[in-house]
Structure 1
Amino acid sequence: MGNKDLGRSQIALDNSLFTVSLYDEGILIAFGRIVGDGGITYVVSDIMVDKDYQRKGYAEEIMKAIDNYFDKHAHEDSYICLIANYPADLLYHKHHFEYLPEDKCGMLRNQLTK
């Protein structure tokens, strides 16, 4: 989970709706998860592949598992969203994610200004 606090990372994992992990001989090499309420809102989060394993199709495998979860659990009126770093948006576009239409905007809460 990057440089996040280990305790908070464990809480996040424990509260995920779905996780997928890929291992190479017992070593975690790739990971992804879905968070949300399990009824209406779902967020694809934390798609990560170790630098030594990137560009080998592991992110694609993770997204296929995530697609499978959505096919089984989400509904046609569910909100399924993610925030992507460039150029990862190209991967997500292949999995039915689109940019927001002009009449909608995505926003992040700034935690630094309180």
Structure 2
Amino acid sequence: MDEYTLIESAPDVTDYLHLRRASGLTPKSLEQARPAVAGGWAACHVRHSSGRTVAMGRVIGDGGWYFHIVDMAVLPDHQRRGLGDRVLSHLLDVIRRDAPPGAYVSLMADPPGRRLYERHGFVESAPHSVGMVLAPGT
């Protein structure tokens, strides 16, 4: 029996905040987490047989052509078991099934996740385009 169950929804806010912090993503506040968890286009999380939420991923976007994969996280004690692959595969399957043809799918890849994303067909967009963020305090 598989000790992990993929659930087709975002985790609750408490688990979301814990997964971000414990997996090394930038911690967020409760005020940031509530609308984030409620506002995704698609999401899933993975629950261990112990009842603990151990992985997650979300898709944000307009539902027409732009889809951005965010919040990919797996707790350190559960990494290297295919959970990131399982979450990303599910999210991409939802996009392929429910998005109109020609969907633009993007993500920002931190170094630990790059191999996973490359295995799923993601390539660097540079030099044609480069990810940019608004500088803090701007």
**TM above 0.5:** yes
Residues 51-66 of structure 1: pairs in structure 2 closer than 5 A = 51-66=76-91
Number of residues of Structure 1 aligned to a counterpart in Structure 2: 113
Shift in Å, 1:102: 2.3
Task: State which of 28, 43, 53 in structure 1 corresponds to 2:68.
Answer: 43
Going from structure 1 to structure 2, the CA distance change for 1:99 and 1:68 (only over 3 Å counts) comes to same
Structure 2 counterpart SS, 1:23 = strand
Unaligned runs of 5+ in 2: 1-19, 22-26
TM value normalised by structure 2: 0.75
Q: Does 1:87 align with 2:115?
A: no
Q: Percent identity?
A: 25
Cα RMSD (Å): 1.4
1:74 and 1:98 map into 2 onto residues whose CA distance is 20
**2:28: which partner in 1?**
4
Amino acid at match of 1:18: A
Shift in Å, 1:76: 4.1
Structure 1 counterpart SS, 2:56 = strand
Q: Which has the higher helix share?
A: 2
Shift in Å, 1:103: 2.4
Amino acid at match of 1:102: P
- Output one character per residue of 1:23-62: Cα deviation in whole Å (capped at 9) or x when no partner: 1121100010000111111100000000110111110110
TM value normalised by structure 1: 0.90
**2:39: which partner in 1?**
15
1:87 and 1:55 map into 2 onto residues whose CA distance is 12
**1:102: which partner in 2?**
127
1:29 and 1:85 map into 2 onto residues whose CA distance is 19
Unaligned runs of 5+ in 1: none
